[in-house]
Structure 1
Amino acid sequence: MFGDSSSGVERSVEQTLGHLRAIDTASTATDQPLTLEDLYRQQRMRMVRLAILLVDEPATAEDVVQEAFTGLYRNWSGLRDAKAAIGYLRTAVVNGSRSVLRRRKTAREYQPPHQADARSAESLAMLTAEHQAVVAALGELPPRQREVLVLRYYGNLTEAEISEATGVSKGTVKSTASRGLEALQKVMRSH
């Protein structure tokens, strides 16, 4: 189903996450949001999808996004403009997702490991079998590699924007993306 080259895997990741991005972009107004309510209406589902790709659980993703919007509300008066608000939300979602994953790891240390909940049928219904395989393989990557690939191909962010959202250097973003694509290729070959 997939080529043996890493560029084939990169193409599959780009197509899958690009497809999801296109769905979100089609439902987002082109004007910059002026109010917190506008921002919530225009960005909420996009942020939820971003969180789902990072934490692999819709209910938890909703909680992460709700916390991000709550933090944005508390800091609304200190933001430069609506574009800064979107960056704030993206960073808050990434950081909230990291916290969730850390708590999961801590919980697993005290309990027997468990399988992550299967994705809902609705969340993958619009994806082809190849796209579903890519999303499933993303779930098996280490958190930082998954973050970088999701922000790059779903978020359509530059290395600089990913660096800002994740708090790591641009060089680390670039090397993590490269290692992530290689790891993704290995996971997809093994299935």
Structure 2
Amino acid sequence: MPVIAPMPAARSARLPSQREGAEETVAAGTTVDHLTETYRAHYRSLLGLAALLLDDTASCEDVVQEAFIRVHSARNRVREPEKTLAYLRQTVVNLSRSALRRRILGLKLLSKPMPDMASAEEGAYDQLERDALIKAMKGLQRRQREVLVLRYFSDMTEAQVAETLGISLGSVKAYGSRGIAALRVTMEAQT
């Protein structure tokens, strides 16, 4: 069974010296340790601040994380470590504003759906069909045309058409069927 040797003392001694070197490098500004402690102590309050400005949790978390990254990157410029939290708060507010601006701009740039309309070709085709139908209707006998217009365009029942024209119900049916047959023949001849 292999025995694991303890870590050499020289290696563990080097870590504090590297750490001291890092602190000396940023002595003029906020230290990494101070920023880490600020993160632990104030992450939730900064998340709450972002939640008041934004509407979804994921965006709030992103904003707070980005704020810590930016303050960490600029920690040499933070001369007074006690102001780190103020810088973080201001960064959260600014990033939240930017996120909202991007959303608003995104909504403005979204393409608006076109209303359901027929294309120009379909409209032209429909117009040609209407013109052909009107021409064919004008070629019908007067009674056939009257029955078809009242029955199908005015949406009357056969009894209402008979009463309006003063003819029998059988006559309405006969004029209607003959009129449709004549229209069918005329429309098929035009195509």
Q: Determine if the TM-score, normalized by the shorter chain, exceeds 0.5.
A: no
Larger RCO (CA within 8 A; separation ≥ 6):
1
Q: Bigger radius of gyration, 1 or 2? A: 2
* Structure-1-length-normalised TM-score: 0.40
* Structure-2-length-normalised TM-score: 0.40
